[in-house]
Amino acid sequence: MLNILQQILLEWGLGEDLAAIGARTGVSILVALAALIAHRLARGPVLRTIDALIRRTKTDWDDALIERRVLHRLAHLVPGLIIYRLAPLALVGHARLQEIIDTGVQVYLVLTGMLVIDALMSTTVDIYRSTKTSREISIKGLIQFLKVILYFLCGVFVVSVLLDKSPFYLLSGLTALTAVLLLVFRDAILGLVAGIQLSVNRMVARGDWIEMPKYGADGDVLDVTLTTVKVQNWDKTITTIPTYALISESFKNWRGMQDSGGRRIKRSVHIDISTVKFLDEQMIERFGKIQYITAHIERKKRELAEYNELNQVDLSHLANGRRMTNVGTFRAYVEAYLKNHPQISQEMTFLVRQLAPTPKGLPIEIYVFCKDKVWANYEAIQADIFDHILAIVPVFDLQVFQEPAGTDFRGLNPTA
């Protein structure tokens, strides 16, 4: 092409030197125009057509190619390839200039290719995140580690092009800097190892609720990356935890609760021990009218009467025989109340038990599971249950233990 254009200029009457310069200039302009037109076509009609076809498909994975601009970055390769192939036509006899342009184009192609591969890796993560498996096994840390290797290799290739040396020659020279490289990439290597362990052992995944007080983390895992785990706390603040800290230190993962049939309610009501007593006939009659425990009262009356009669117990003294107590009847009521509560699971652990007395009274512990695991709903259900239990305690001639407050001492006579 250069010779043809030079011959045409000579025929037009230009001198040999001017014809050579004009031909080389003309070919250079044609190469630049070809690169520009190809780039405009690739970024314009071609890209719009492919984009329209992708958006019409029913699958979602190909939409990630558009969102991550993979095709846009591919379009940038077109002018580089054209210049790389056609530039020698305009630079015949100028070896040094041709070498400089070739070097620049090669660097451009390597960097653009790196950006394309980077976008493809990000696309892979987006597609994988749409699967159910991504909830348990995260690949983002692995992809980020591969990106680090990609950037490193890209840097080696760029340096090799600039120095006109083989990449293997540069890599062999880097073996002496292994210790330095390990120090530079320490966090990345630790993060990769930790990420693999977290994924294989399914210790933590995106969406899990974790607690790690040392780092002030208490909330949902937003992302598991190569070097950090991002947690959104319940107050909407964001905490980042080093990935390797999750395998070297202790943390609580609430996934088991979220995957189970309920969320645990474990709380005690402390009864004033001085109010615990045996039931008399009036109390038995009064408690027997409470629907939840009517059957329990009748059953216990028959059971105790049979025992006392069989053992010829002298019932004239309270210490003799077996008798019902108000605290035992209260426990029976709480158990019956919870068994009839629509939000309490009857298939999971269900306990209403008496714990060892403490200086703060006799603990009656409720250990059950709420069907609704949503935090706000769970707290509301738990509050309603204990509102009812605290309000019903006096019905059984019991009192909730409460440490003396300032108002308790105001009625005392200081001169007494």
Query: What string of DSSP letters covers 97-141?
Result: HHHHHHHHHHHHHHHHHHHHHHHHHHHHHHHHHTSGGGGT---HH
3 Cβ partners below 8 Å, 6+ apart? 23
Residue 130 has pLDDT above 90, yes or no: no
**What are the beta bridge partners of residue 266?**
367
Contact 293, 352 (CB under 8 A): no
Contact 235, 252 (CB under 8 A): no
Higher pLDDT, residue 362 or 88: 362
Check residue 392 and give its pLDDT: 95
User: Rounded CA gap, 232 and 230, in Å?
Assistant: 7
Q: Alpha carbon 354 to chain centroid distance?
A: 39
Residue 200 has pLDDT above 80, yes or no: no
> 132-171 burial, b for 16+ CB within 10 Å, e for fewer?
eebeebbbbbbbbbbbeeeeeebebbbebbeeeeeeeeee
For the packed helices 294-310 and 326-339, what is the interaxial angle rounded to 10 degrees?
140
Contact 404, 336 (CB under 8 A): no
Q: Which regions of the chain carry the CATH code 2.30.30.60?
A: 137-142+169-256
- For the four alpha carbons of 173, 178, 180 and 184, in that order, the dihedral sign comes to positive
User: Rounded CA gap, 275 and 327, in Å?
Assistant: 9
Residue 337 has pLDDT above 80, yes or no: yes
Higher pLDDT, residue 412 or 214: 214
- Dump pLDDT digits (tens) for 260-315: 778 999 999 999 999 999 998 899 999 999 999 999 999 998 998 888 888 888 88
Contact 284, 324 (CB under 8 A): yes
Check residue 357 and give its pLDDT: 94
Check residue 411 and give its pLDDT: 66
Number of residues that make up the chain = 416
Q: Which regions of the chain carry the CATH code 3.30.70.100?
A: 263-283+323-403
User: Tokens at residue 257, please?
Assistant: 């609760």
Residue 247 has pLDDT above 90, yes or no: no
Contact 396, 327 (CB under 8 A): yes
- Dump pLDDT digits (tens) for 73-119: 888 888 888 877 777 666 666 667 777 788 888 888 889 889 899 88
Residue 13 has pLDDT above 60, yes or no: no
Check residue 98 and give its pLDDT: 73
Which whole number is the average pLDDT over 42-71? 79
> 314-345 burial, b for 16+ CB within 10 Å, e for fewer?
eeeeeeebebbebbbbbbbbbbbbbeebebbb
Terminal alpha carbon distance of the chain = 122
User: Rounded CA gap, 286 and 291, in Å?
Assistant: 11
User: Rounded CA gap, 412 and 416, in Å?
Assistant: 8
Q: How many CA atoms lie within 13 A of 45 on its CB side?
A: 3
Check residue 335 and give its pLDDT: 95
Check residue 28 and give its pLDDT: 64
Check residue 193 and give its pLDDT: 76
User: Rounded CA gap, 179 and 186, in Å?
Assistant: 10
User: Tokens at residue 366, please?
Assistant: 């409720």
The CATH architecture of the domain made up of 263-283+323-403 is 2-Layer Sandwich (3.30)
| Band (342; pLDDT cuts 50, 70, 90) | very high
For the packed helices 326-339 and 375-392, what is the interaxial angle rounded to 10 degrees?
150
Amino acid (one-letter) located at 10 = L
Residue 9 has pLDDT above 50, yes or no: no
Contact 191, 227 (CB under 8 A): yes
Which whole number is the average pLDDT over 196-205? 75
252 Cβ partners below 8 Å, 6+ apart? 210, 211, 212
| Band (2; pLDDT cuts 50, 70, 90) | very low
Residue 338 has pLDDT above 90, yes or no: yes
Residue whose token pair is 């200029």: 9
H helices of 134-185, in order, are: 140-163, 167-174, 178-184
User: Tokens at residue 386, please?
Assistant: 């204990």
Residue 185 has pLDDT above 80, yes or no: no
- For the four alpha carbons of 238, 242, 245 and 246, in that order, the dihedral sign comes to positive
Q: How many CB atoms lie within 10 A of CB 184?
A: 12
The rounded percent of the chain whose pLDDT value lies above 90 is 29
User: Rounded CA gap, 201 and 168, in Å?
Assistant: 37
Record: fold of 137-142+169-256:
SH3 type barrels. (2.30.30)
